[in-house]
Amino acid sequence: MKALVSVKRVIDYNVRIQVKPDGSGVVVDGVKHSVNPFDEIAMEEAVRLKEKGKLTEIIAVTVGGAKCEETLRTALAFGADRAVHVKVDEEIQPLTAAQALAAVFKKEGAELFFLGKQAIDDDAAQTGQMVAALLDLPQATFASKVEIDGGKATVTREVDAGLETLEFDLPGIITTDLRLNEPRYLKLPDIMKAKKKPIEVIGLGDLGITAAAGLKSVKTANPPKRSKGVMVKTVDELVTALKAKGLI
Amino acid sequence: MSKILVIGQHADGKLNSGIAKVVNAAKAIGGDIHVAVFANDGSAVAAQAAALDGVAKVLVVDRAGNDDYVASAIAPQIVALTQSGGYSHVLAAGTTSGKDFLPRVAAKLGVQQVSDIMAVHSATSFDRPIYAGNAILTVEAPASPCIVATIRLASFQATGAAAAAAPIEKISVDAVIPSHTRFVKLEAQKSERPELQSANRVVSGGRALGSSENFNIIYSLADKLKAGVGASRAAVDSGYVPNDMQVGQTGKIIAPELYFAIGISGAIQHLAGIKDARTIVAINKDPEAPIFEVADYGLVGDLFALVPELEAKA
């Protein structure tokens, strides 16, 4: 059974982002980038399934520009067998990414597709579900536990009310949540091995896709600033202040 | 003129408290607002939706299994209704359920979805948060074929009660429902406390509490204040509290009047969940903790002494 894992190159989660003064976006040049943390969790889950003998091959995929090759090399170092780079230079939106990923999933004859529940830059949380809809396949989002057995996936999901368990017939799509696993530390031998694993580079045209017009970004702004607070020295001071405001 | 379809999400016979906020967002867009209730038997939920101010009509789509809200079963029904009804907008609450099914609807309709609308500028222009809310993006969505969006509940007030109940209509939709996905079970935490997503006051604990037993001081303070309870991701990861208490970028985004961050350092990702809280109170033994940069009131000290004292004097 083959699994496809999608990884996205994003600004590192520790970086304090800066909004460009002209409102055209966020500063990305010279800023540290990494693999989207949720996609690392997706990669880790696929690798664990392969180690358990459930998967025969893991294919990593990314949709993005030239710099995304480093993202694929990280996925290969984790344990993907090979990678596909859908090279797109313009900024693409979730539906277009989903169309490309759905086409790759079909082309590769994969049975499982893992990706993070959201990318920490756009925070849209749509791509996995869109891939599932385009392929008319099942989905299990926000997965915190995955079991694959006898052609079925049993997935526990983190939802607002608590934990929900779904079962679906393979093939299908799973988006990963924080507590699904803890990704392994990459060791130097794996990083070196990754340099030799194959990456196939294709374009949207090779997949029969044209990037459709989507949402237009009008401007990017800083969020409203909270007014400065005060430090209090005692609980009495705090209670007095809150009562004065009618808050308690 | 816009014709807006609001998905009337529900659980245990109750309309989701966020729907009143989605209706308010729909009012800002302007136009006819219809609420669609997909349920096994939606009459009770429909009556609650019909009582919301601004709702012109409630449509009930009854089907065995709809209560489970399996995304691949609900989405085709929404798509069919959107197309047959000629809706210009489809809105869902930005809950885990809305995030689960709505992108399927957008993909089937061939449109990019707008996630987590925080402000409405016009029928086609909206603000949404990116980078954990550290930047606000204004987008313009193509009006045609329709606009599909989730609403960030923390950014809107609830609409009030209608003067008169809206008409309720039972309808059927022409959709192929796949059988490949089955709901197995939901392990929900039952609590008497106010629901975290909509509570006016919330008391949250972080990893500094050190154990699930120690979280009792958080619950105790919350009960004294009639507040809901929340937690940082670190506290959930450490197993002190269940996942449905997580507040933050990848947990719940909340907007209470009063928020207590107890033993929470204030990582960017946690702050993303509380940016819209009216008043933030932080108690932490580390005076350098980032939480003090956003707190309206900050108290440095040992939470194990201060929290019981606060509970006694509040």
Q: For residues B136 and B138, what is the distance between their CA atoms, to the nearest angstrom?
A: 7
Taking an 8 Å cut-off on Cβ atoms, the answer to whether A141 and B100 are in contact is yes
Domain range for A130 is 2-244
- What is the number of domains present in chain B? 2
Q: Which residue of B has its CA nearest to A121?
A: B131
Tell me if B195 is assigned to some domain: no
Tell me if B226 is assigned to some domain: yes
Share above pLDDT 70 across residues of chain B, in percent, rounded to a whole number: 100
- Here the CATH number for the domain that contains residue A63 is 3.40.50.620
Share above pLDDT 90 across residues of chain B, in percent, rounded to a whole number: 97
Using 50, 70 and 90 to split pLDDT, how confident is the model at A226? confident
Taking an 8 Å cut-off on Cβ atoms, the answer to whether B137 and A217 are in contact is yes
Tell me if B176 is assigned to some domain: no
- The per-residue pLDDT for A145 is 98
Taking an 8 Å cut-off on Cβ atoms, the answer to whether A235 and B252 are in contact is no
Single out the residue in B130, B150, B170 at which a domain terminates: B170
Listing from the earlier edge strand, what are the strands of the sheet with B279-284?
Answer: A230-232, B297-300, B279-284, B258-262, B201-205, B228-231
Tell me if B190 is assigned to some domain: no
Q: pLDDT, tens digit, for every residue of B160-189?
A: 999 999 999 999 999 999 999 999 999 987
Q: For residues A92 and A94, what is the distance between their CA atoms, to the nearest angstrom?
A: 7
Q: What are phi and psi of A59, to 5 degrees?
A: -115, 125
Residue B205: helix, strand or coil by DSSP? Answer: strand
Shared domain for B58 and B160, answered yes or no, is: yes
Taking an 8 Å cut-off on Cβ atoms, the answer to whether B243 and A166 are in contact is no
Q: How far is A127 from chain B (nearest CA, A)?
A: 8
Nearest to B84 by CA among B109, B121, B58: B109
Shared domain for B56 and B129, answered yes or no, is: yes
Single out the residue in B127, B147, B170 at which a domain terminates: B170
- The per-residue pLDDT for B163 is 97
Q: For residues B240 and B263, what is the distance between their CA atoms, to the nearest angstrom?
A: 13
Taking an 8 Å cut-off on Cβ atoms, the answer to whether B313 and A239 are in contact is yes
Q: pLDDT, tens digit, for every residue of A99-115?
A: 999 999 999 999 999 99
H-type alpha helices, B56-128: 71-85, 96-109
- Nearest-by-Cβ selection for B106 from A11, A130, A167: A130
Shared domain for B97 and B32, answered yes or no, is: yes
Largest CA distance in chain B: 62
Mean of the per-residue pLDDT values for chain B? Answer: 96
Taking an 8 Å cut-off on Cβ atoms, the answer to whether B138 and A136 are in contact is no
* Region B302-310 average pLDDT: 97
Kindly state the tokens that stand for A240.
């007095």
Tell me if B301 is assigned to some domain: yes
- The per-residue pLDDT for B1 is 87
Shared domain for B207 and B144, answered yes or no, is: no
CA distances from B203 to A133, B93, B280, B305 (A): 39, 24, 10, 16
Domain range for B223 is 201-313
- Compare B204 and A227 and report the one with higher pLDDT: B204
Q: Which helix (H) or strand (E) holds B135?
A: strand B135-140
Q: Is the pLDDT of residue B60 over 90?
A: yes
From A36-40, A91-95, B164-168, the region with the lowest mean pLDDT = A91-95
- Compare A227 and B273 and report the one with higher pLDDT: B273
CA gyration radius for chain A?
A: 21
- Compare B192 and A235 and report the one with higher pLDDT: A235
Q: How far is B101 from chain A (nearest CA, A)?
A: 8
* Region A227-241 average pLDDT: 95
- The per-residue pLDDT for A213 is 75
How many CB atoms are located within 10 Å of the residue B187 CB? 13
- The per-residue pLDDT for B189 is 79
Q: For residues A144 and A133, what is the distance between their CA atoms, to the nearest angstrom?
A: 22
Tell me if B181 is assigned to some domain: no
| Predicted model pTM | 0.93
Single out the residue in B170, B185, B215 at which a domain terminates: B170
Shared domain for B211 and B150, answered yes or no, is: no
Q: pLDDT, tens digit, for every residue of B61-93?
A: 999 999 999 999 999 999 999 999 999 999 999
Q: For residues A154 and B230, what is the distance between their CA atoms, to the nearest angstrom?
A: 28
Q: Is the pLDDT of residue A212 over 90?
A: no
Tell me if B175 is assigned to some domain: no
What is the number of H-type helices and E-type strands within chain A?
Answer: 6, 13
Listing from the earlier edge strand, what are the strands of the sheet with B168-170?
Answer: B113-117, B147-151, B89-93, B3-7, B32-39, B57-62, B168-170
Q: Which amino acid is at B66?
A: N
Q: pLDDT, tens digit, for every residue of A188-203?
A: 999 999 999 999 999 9
Collect all residues of chain A within an 8 Å Cβ-Cβ radius of residue B124. Answer: none
- The per-residue pLDDT for A138 is 98
* Region B293-303 average pLDDT: 96
Interface test with B, best of A91, A129, A137 (most B CBs within 10 A): A129
- The per-residue pLDDT for B191 is 85
Largest CA distance in chain A: 69
Shared domain for B216 and B76, answered yes or no, is: no
Q: Is the pLDDT of residue A236 over 80?
A: yes
Q: For residues B293 and A211, what is the distance between their CA atoms, to the nearest angstrom?
A: 42
Cβ contact B95:B11 at 8 Å: no
Kindly state the tokens that stand for A215.
């949402």
Q: Is the pLDDT of residue B159 over 80?
A: yes
Residue B54: helix, strand or coil by DSSP? Answer: coil
Tell me if B178 is assigned to some domain: no
Using 50, 70 and 90 to split pLDDT, how confident is the model at A166? very high
Sort A152 into a burial class: Cβ within 10 Å, 0-12 / 13-18 / 19+: middle
Nearest to A143 by CA among A125, A165, A123: A165
Q: Which amino acid is at B265?
A: S
* Region B181-210 average pLDDT: 94
- Here the CATH number for the domain that contains residue B143 is 3.40.50.620
Taking an 8 Å cut-off on Cβ atoms, the answer to whether A162 and B243 are in contact is yes
Kindly state the tokens that stand for B121.
């500028």
E strands, B12-106, in order: 14-15, 32-39, 57-62, 89-93
- What is the number of domains present in chain A? 1
* Region A162-185 average pLDDT: 97
* Region B272-281 average pLDDT: 95
Q: Which residues have C-beta within 8 Å of that of residue B155, sequence separation ≥ 6? A: B117, B118, B119, B255, B276
Q: Is A90 left (phi over 0), alpha (psi -120 to 50) or beta?
A: beta
Interface test with B, best of A105, A215, A243 (most B CBs within 10 A): A215
- The per-residue pLDDT for A227 is 85
- The per-residue pLDDT for A33 is 97
Q: pLDDT, tens digit, for every residue of B109-121?
A: 999 999 999 999 9
